[in-house]
Structure formats: C-alpha cells, structure tokens
Structure 1
Amino acid sequence: MKASRIAAAAAVAGSAVLVLSAPAFAHVTVQPEGAAAKGGYAVVDFKVPNERDDASTTKVEVNLPADHPIASVMPQPVPGWKVQVTKSKLDKPLTMHGEKIDEAVTKVTWTADGKGIEPGYFQKFPLSLGALPEDADHLTFKAIQTYSDKEVVRWIEEPQEGQEEPENPAPVLELSAATGDHHGSASAENAAEKTEKTAASDSGSDDGSDTTARVLGVVGIVVGAAGVAYGVLAGRRRAA
C-alpha cells in the first residue's frame, strides 16, 4: 500500500516537473554556429518552436538591437519561407572597412509560403551578423511569433540577472571575448605570406644549386680536356 502511494506521488511529482519545465524548451532562442566573438562576424540560428497543438507558426519577426546596430546582416534562404529585410537610418553612422554607413538592418521577417511550422516541430532561421559590438557582453533580439489562428506571441521581455526568467523572454546572444582575427583573413594572409617566403627561399636555393652544378660541370670539362691533351702530348714524346 505504501509502495503504491509512493509510486503515485513520484508520478505526480514527475509530471509536475515536466509541465513546469516544458515552457522553457518552447522559447524562441538564438545560438551561434561556432563562436560569436566581440568585434567579429558570426552565423546565428534563431530557433522557433511551435507551442500550439491546433495552429501553425506562419510568421516570425526578429528585431535587431537598436543600441548596438549591426552593419552587415544577411539571411540564409529557408525553404518554404519568404524573407524581408528592413533597414532604417541610424542616428549615429557606423564605420565599416573605412566607409561610413548611415543605415542598418533593424528587422528581419520570415513569412511562410505553405504550412509553416506545424505542431510538434521547430524551425531554424539563420542570419549572418557582423561586425558584432566590442563593448557589449550580449545582444538582445526581440522576436514576434504569429500563428495561423492570428494569435501573436511577443518574445520581448529582457531577462534580468539575479531574477527569475520572464514568461516571454527575448532571445539573448552571448558574446565571447574578442580575438586577434575577427574575419579569419589575417591568418589566411599570414599563411599566404609564409608560403610565398618559403617558395622564394626554395626558389633561391634551387637557383643557387643549379648555378653551382653548372660551374662544377664546366670546370670538370676543362680539367678533363686538359688531361686528354696532356696524355696525347706525353704519348708523342715517348714515341719520338
């Protein structure tokens, strides 16, 4: 009897844990593919799950942080979805690759061509972002999720350190420490430079080796010819 009561209590507790933890897995989130270093570029995935049993997600809007505008934002095509990139004028222009940029992407919207994200499924929406700010530890993206029954869920509440997670938290991208190579191009250039130097060194060594071999060959021919001439003269003297 006691065993059955304990088992029943455990089952209820387990169900409660699952119920309470389920929403945490259903939030719209953002994760980098690899590292998202300060001052660098990164590809990030916005993961959008469907929380409803009787409706599909047909539209996803992601608002980029206005306090840290990002000059370069490029979406990757997602089959079954149309994408729209919205740009706005900046109050303070950015400098990128020596050029001033007075506008930046402020919102990216994906709209389903077909069924969208059906119940029990999720979809990833990739974006290429850069350059990431150097004076921030994280970026907050406010997202809006629209369902086929016209319901709208706003994932716009910013999580606060030391407080419980809000009901509809906004996706937060954590930034890692800056590296010396933001684009990966510096390493490539260094490698290319080393390769050229090595090739030049090898070429110089080969040229030197060829020259030495040629000189030795000529000297050998001259010595050989002198030896033959000496032998002929010596033979004539003996004959005389």
Structure 2
Amino acid sequence: MRSKLRASSRALVAAAITGAALSITVAAGAPPASAHVHVDAANPAPGSTTVLTFRVPGESDGGALTTQFSVTLPDVASARTEVMPGWTARLDRDAGAGTVRSVTWTAGPSTGISGEQFALFRVSVTLPDQPSVTLPATQTYSDGKVVRWDQAPLPGGGEPEYPAPVLALTGTAEDGHDHPAPSAAPSTAPPAAPDVSVTATPQESASTGDDTARWLAGGALVLAAVAVVASILRRKSA
C-alpha cells in the first residue's frame, strides 16, 4: 500500500513539474503585447468640456527617447493644456474659424520617454456633438523615427499596427443651469408666545445676594452652637 502511495505521489509531482515547464515555455515563446497610444476621459459627453488624457509609451528598441507628441483635434472650439514639467505645449489655431486644430508637446533638453516608460499628456477641450471622436497622433523619437497613430480599424473589427486613438462619447451632459430653490410653504404654526421673562435689575440682584449671604452666616452660627452643646453633653455623660 505504501509503495502505491509513493508511486502516486511521484507521478503527481512529475505532472506538476511538466505543466510548469510547459507554461514557462509558452510564456517565453508568446510575442509581447504591443503598447499603443490610448486616450481616455471622465464622463465624455457630446458637446461637453472634458480633459483628454493620452497615455504614450516609449517603444524604441534602440534606446531612443520620445521627444515630441502631437494630436490632431476635430477643430474644437477651445483647448487648454496642462502644465507638464520638462515639456512645452503649442496649440495650432485656425485664425479664420477660431478653432484649435492640433496640440503638440515637445520635450526639453535631457527629457523624453524611454522604452521602459510612459507619459500622460492632458488637454482640456470642448468635444464635438457626435457619438465618437477620432484623434490621430504622431510620436517622434530622438533618432528621427516618426510613428503615426492614424490607422482605422481593419475590416471585420481587427486592430491595425498603428491604430488611431478613438474616444466614444458615451457620457451624460451635466445640467449647468441654475434652478431657483422652491419657495418655502407658509407656516401654519401659531405665533410664538412673547417672551415675558423678567430680568432682575442690578439693585435687585445685589439685594438678593445680600440676603443669601445673611442666611448662610446665620446657618453657620446655628451649626456651631449645636456642635458646642453636643460636646458638653458628651463630657457630662462620660
């Protein structure tokens, strides 16, 4: 019986080791998931003003840094970039239409995104009144390589090599109008009774204080007399 149990245990251990080895082999042979430029926003609603956040990873295999990132905007009515240390931002405006067509961030000296890093670029915009918005982007590296994230989804719903960031405008527009508060209903409670409490005058307060002091002094004398009488009686009884 013991030999059978030992054999079963050895078989289970061998199977576990084989499964772990296969898992490691599959993981090592699987291609790494590609990192893309993504855009996100909190409660993006058509026609609303929101902050777009672009997540930009460094993807250079040769150690080059991402030193510039630009996004094409759908001619938004207004745009405002967030302060980003080490980077400068420039808005490309259409002087005739008064809209913003694109925004470009440029890294300062000794600044950039390496292959082991990512950065978040934020811009506040007024979204167009439509179900979704496509935001083509361009990523430039320090070695001169330029990657354009502007490809549409493949037929059948597949993802291309360099997909353009797309934001679905599924949020709910907030009501920015001020509504007056409802007027209070007339009170049906009877009017409060007038305050008839009487406040003592300074003279009356002083008089009351003197009377109290006299009564306390008299009480103290009575107690002292009682104590003296009790002491005399105890001595006589002894």
Number of the residue aligned with 1:28: 37
Alignment of 1:83-122 (within 5 A): 83-88=89-94, 102-114=97-109, 115-122=111-118
* Corresponding position of 1:123: 119
Aligned-pair distance for 1:77?
A: 1.2
- Structure number with higher relative contact order (C-alpha < 8 Å, ≥ 6 residues apart): 1
Q: Which residue of 2 aligns with 1:226?
A: none
- Structure 1 residues without counterparts, runs of 5 or longer: 91-101, 221-240
The percent identity for this pair of structures is 35
**Pick aligned residue for 1:78 from 84, 99, 124:** 84
Determine the structure 2 residue equivalent to 1:16: 29
Q: Is the Cα–Cα contact under 8 Å of residues 39 and 178 in structure 1 kept in the other structure?
A: no
Indicate conservation of the 8 Å contact 2:51/2:123, yes or no.
yes
Q: Secondary structure at the match of 2:98?
A: strand
Q: 1:117 to 1:72 in 2, by over 3 A?
A: same
How far is the alpha carbon of 1:138 from its aligned partner? 1.4
Post-superposition shift, 1:160? Answer: 4.4
2:70/2:138 contact within 8 Å kept: yes
Q: What SS does structure 2 have at the residue aligned with 1:64?
A: strand
Partner of 1:146: 140
1:155 is matched by which residue type in structure 2? Answer: W
Matches of 1:89 and 1:13, distance apart in 2: 56
SS in 2 for 1:169: coil
Q: Are the equivalent residues in 2 in contact too, given 1:31–1:173 (CA < 8 A)?
A: yes
Distance of 2:139 and 2:21 partners within structure 1: 38
How far off its partner does 1:107 sit? 0.9
In structure 1, C-alpha distance between the alignment counterparts of 2:125 and 2:149, rounded to whole Å: 20
The number of residues matched between the two structures is 181
Who is 1:62 aligned against? 71
CA contact (8 A) 1:140 1:158 kept: no
- The alignment's TM-score, normalised by the length of structure 1, stands at 0.65
Corresponding residue for residue 50 of structure 2: 42
Structure 1 residues 1-10 or 36-45, which shifts more? 1-10
CA distance in 2, matches of 1:178, 1:116: 36
Q: Which residue of 2 aligns with 1:93?
A: none
- Give the distance between the partners of 2:120 and 2:105, measured in 1 at CA: 11
For 1:144, the aligned partner's letter is T
Query: TM-score, length-normalised on structure 2?
Result: 0.65
Report what 1:232 is aligned to: none
Q: CA deviation at 1:122?
A: 0.8
Contact 1:30–1:45 at 8 Å: present in 2 too? Answer: yes
Choose 1 or 2 for highest CA Rg.
2
Q: Give the secondary-structure state (helix, strand or coil) at the position aligned to 2:94.
A: strand
Partner in structure 1 of residue 164 of structure 2:
170
Looking at structure 2, the residues matched to 104 and 160 of structure 1 have their Cα atoms a distance apart, in angstroms, of 31
Structure with bigger strand share is 1
Change (3 A) 1:13 1:154: same
Question: Of Structure 1 and Structure 2, which has the larger fraction of its residues in helix?
Answer: 1
Counterpart-to-counterpart distance in 2, 1:150 and 1:6? 45
Cα displacement string for residues 104-157 of structure 1 (whole angstroms, at most 9, x for unaligned residues)? 111100001131112311110111111x223x3211111111111111111111
* Runs of 5+ consecutive residues of structure 2 not aligned to the other structure: 1-13, 197-238
